[in-house]
Amino acid sequence: MGEILAGALFMYIFKEASRNAYNNDRREVNFRKNFFKYFGLNLPHADAIDDVLRVLAPSELEQLKARLVAGLIEQKIFRKFRFLGKYYLVAVDATGMASFEQRHCNHCLTKTSKTGVVTYFHYVLEAKIVTSTGLSISLASEFIENDPGRDYEKQDCEQKAFARLAVKIKKYFPRLPICILADGLYPNNSVFDICAKNDWKFIITLKDGNLKTFQTEVGLLRATASKRSICRVDKTTRTNLEYTFLNDIEYKGRYFSWVECMETIVNIKGTEISNQRFAYITNVHQNLQNVAETADSGRLRWKIENEGFNSQKNLGYALEHKFSRTSFIALQNYYHLMQIGHMINQLVERCNQVVDILKEHSKQTIVDLWKKMMAYLIIFQCEDNLQIPYQPG
């Protein structure tokens, strides 16, 4: 089992992007020998991996992932990034995994176009620990899936999946102090309930259309709001940040705070180059000391999209690749292994040895480095007397 899972995991760590690419490398004798020399494992055929991943309960790999992340938390990897020195920032968002023209399995979500064409697809809701340095590490995943018996009208959705995801986070990390970061789909009473029940803080994006009564109240009290201005200067730009906040705004029997950040960036000549507004609802009571950290943390939410989903889609992990064309169980297992592989690589890419190489050669990139590592494993001739116990078919 160790060899099977390690094989699948290395498909992601090596950024092979498909089972076929993995098989091609595995066919090289040097590659197999080098892999055995460094890791003490045989490389199984991708079909053997697939056979196992079709029957292994996805909860097993999910648990493995949670244990690994718990280990990182114990080793204090995220400690210095905590919000207000206490709360781990956990961004929550959904992303597409794979879409199919034909029904892939009986858990597929479906979408019918105006012309009546049905597409079948899978979505996953993620909770990832995010940091200002760009780490985006999967804490828990919940698949948005249809129950085979249910009718089309009652498709599963992100909101329902969030309730299940919250249960999972609490199960695997019962005492972890968490602050949830989420987008404009999340300011609603059921999300506030879940956060209150679990004793979680939240900083949630407030869009113009969200929570009308709350926003009306904010509009009425705006003139009395407290403000704090910060100016950040670097070599080429000056960034002016104006933070505004209000506390104790009532919404359906609870009291929340409202935070707004206006950001203006000007260049050396004084010309404005960008002007943005961000607004949040939070259950963290605001004051002049914490308002900037609150709004800045709220903005880290996009790390789940950029460092999380986009990296997994476009930087070698092939998140949207159809790793299994028929099995939903296998699709989930590949997904969990991808999260573990990406987690390992994020840590490797930040270790001193790699950072030093990148610093030394200014044109060197992570992509180049991985290409060279793969070339080394394929071309470098291992000692001839190294015997690997298994010869693949």
List contacts with Zn ion (CB under 5 A): 104-105, 108
Minimum CB distance to Zn ion smaller for 143 or for 280? 143
Minimum CB distance to Zn ion smaller for 102 or for 115? 102
By CB atoms closer than 10 A (0-12, 13-18, 19+), residue 24 is: middle
Minimum CB distance to Zn ion smaller for 19 or for 107? 107
Residue that has been written with the tokens 């045989």 in this structure: 42
Minimum CB distance to Zn ion smaller for 221 or for 329? 329
DSSP 318-353: -TTS-S-SS-HHHHHHHHHHHHHHHHHHHHHHTSHH
CB of 122 to Zn ion, least distance (A): 6
- φ, ψ at 150 (rounded to 5°): -80, 155
CB of 120 to Zn ion, least distance (A): 6
- What is the length of the chain? 393
Residue that has been written with the tokens 């705006």 in this structure: 222
By CB atoms closer than 10 A (0-12, 13-18, 19+), residue 93 is: buried
CB of 108 to Zn ion, least distance (A): 3
CB of 331 to Zn ion, least distance (A): 7
Minimum CB distance to Zn ion smaller for 108 or for 130? 108
What is the enclosing helix (H) or strand (E) of 378?
helix 366-379
CA distances from 147 to 98, 100, 151, 238, 325 (A): 18, 18, 8, 53, 19
DSSP 248-279: EEEETTEEEEEEEEEEEEEETTS-EEEEEEEE
CB of 124 to Zn ion, least distance (A): 12
Distance CA 284, CA 71 (A): 28
Minimum CB distance to Zn ion smaller for 45 or for 104? 104
Contact 145, 154 (CB under 8 A): no
CA distances from 280 to 13, 210, 262, 295 (A): 36, 11, 12, 7
Distance CA 264, CA 363 (A): 32
Minimum CB distance to Zn ion smaller for 238 or for 321? 321
- φ, ψ at 152 (rounded to 5°): -55, -35
CB of 161 to Zn ion, least distance (A): 15
Minimum CB distance to Zn ion smaller for 239 or for 327? 327
Contact 378, 28 (CB under 8 A): yes
Q: CA-based angle 29:27:49, to the nearest 5?
A: 120
Minimum CB distance to Zn ion smaller for 328 or for 370? 328
Minimum CB distance to Zn ion smaller for 104 or for 201? 104
What is the enclosing helix (H) or strand (E) of 236?
none
CB of 336 to Zn ion, least distance (A): 16
Kindly compute the dihedral angle of the four CA atoms of residues 376, 342, 316, 62, in this order, to the nearest 10 degrees. Answer: 120
CB of 104 to Zn ion, least distance (A): 3
CB of 157 to Zn ion, least distance (A): 16
CB of 105 to Zn ion, least distance (A): 3
Distance CA 118, CA 163 (A): 28
